[in-house]
Structures are given as C-alpha cells and as structure tokens.
Amino acid sequence: MSALVHLAANTLSSSKAVALYVQYASTLVGRDKACRFGQYLARLLVYILSRRLATRGKTPGAGVGTGIAWVAALSKTQAVLSTTRKVMRSGKFVDFARQFARILTGAAPSQQREDEVVRTLGAVHKAGMCVFMLADTLGLAHSALGLVRLRDAPRVARLGQRAWLAALAAQAAAALYQLHNLRLRQADLDRVRRHITKTAAAGSSSSSSDLPASVGARECAAEERAVAAQRAAAGRTLLLSA
C-alpha cells in the first residue's frame, strides 16, 4: 500500500500533464474556458439526446424515461456552468471600461504605434465588451442573486448580446486589416530583398562592396521575422474572434 502511495505521489509531482493542468486551472481564463467547454458539451449532448427522443417518440420500453432523465441532468449542468461563468466574470466590465478610456486618451503604450483604423476598432471592441459584461453582471444580479430588479431583463440581455456581436466584429475587422497591411509590408520586403540580391550579384567581388549588401540582407531578414510574428498574432486574434 505504501508503495502505491509513493508511486502516485511521484507521478503527481513529476507529471508534466499535471503541472500543465495546475498552471491552466490556476488562472481565471483557464477556469472560464474549462467551464465553457463543459457548458457547450452539455448543450451538444442535450441536442443529440433530444433529437433521438423525438425520433423514438413515445414508444414504451424504448428507454425514453432514461433519456429524459439524462436531458434534465445535462440541462441542469449546462445552467450551473453558465451561472458559474457569469459569477467568475462579474465586474469584468470595469476592466474593459478602463481599457476603453486608455485607448481614447492614448495612455496605452501600444496605441502609439497603431494607426487610426486599428485604434478605432479597438475602442469599439472594448466598448462592446464593456456593455456586454455590464449587461451580463446585471442579469446575474437580477436572476440568480436577486440584488437588482430589472424592468425588462430580456431587453438588457439582448442589448448585451448585440454589444458582444459588435465587439467580435470589430476585433475580426481589426485582425483582417492588420493582416492586409502585413501582406503589403511583406511584398515591400520581397522587393527590397530582390533588389539587394540583384545589387550584390551585379557588384564587384570585393569585401568592401559586399558589406552594405550583407547588412541590408540581415536587416531585411529581421524585418521579415517581425512581420511573420505579427501575422501569427493577428491570425490568432482572428481565430479567437471567430
């Protein structure tokens, strides 16, 4: 028995999978994504079971009662996970409001390097997420906690969903705009590289004439690596907003 306990302790202490899980679950984003995965998995299973129950009908002895019990349990799980996610992100609208204000005032360091289109779309994204999170928090306080009484809770929920959709659209548009600019920048770098190669091939073979071409090639390569990294970041942003 002690050997099994020792083996289990060694496995937990040295396992990379356990370390990755602990690192992932220790963040608010990680817990939210785990709850979201469980929520949408339960929703998918409810849909599949409901379709099967609808095709079977009310035939006795076909396991309809068990299926209905599973649908009820999964629906309850989905509702609990949805409420848990709302509780974890309650008050998040303050952070988005702060980011929106920093974009408007130009206080964010990254905003100084972005053009007006990306800055405007970023402001729309932060404002939309702020409205969505505020509506989400108000809905939680109204339905689950009973701290706030809303005259028209469905209207507040619809407003939050529209703001969320506008925020995702702005984020996707900003990512597409950045990818377009980076594609143009890469084309310019390709022309510069071809010019450097042609100049180096047409020049003399002396080391003094090869030095500027080699320096230009290194600068062009560094710029291409920066463009590739920015394109990967914009692609991830576009994928997450989809």
Quick one: pLDDT band at residue 241, thresholds 50, 70, 90? low
42: tokens are 């339960």
Mean pLDDT score of the chain: 79
Q: What is the pTM for the complete model shown?
A: 0.69
- For range 95-124, the mean pLDDT: 81
Bigger pLDDT: 216 or 71? 71
Residues 148-164 have pLDDT tens digits of: 788 888 899 899 999 99
pLDDT of residue 26 exceeding 90, the answer is no
Please state the φ and ψ torsions of residue 149, each to the nearest 5 degrees: -110, 115
Q: How far apart are the first and last CA of the chain?
A: 51
Separation CA 38–CA 178 (nearest Å): 33
Per DSSP, the residues of 163-184 read HHHHHHHHHHHHHHHHHHHHHH
User: Would the pLDDT of 126 be above 90?
Assistant: yes
Q: What is the pLDDT of residue 63?
A: 56
Given this model, what pLDDT does residue 206 score?
A: 47
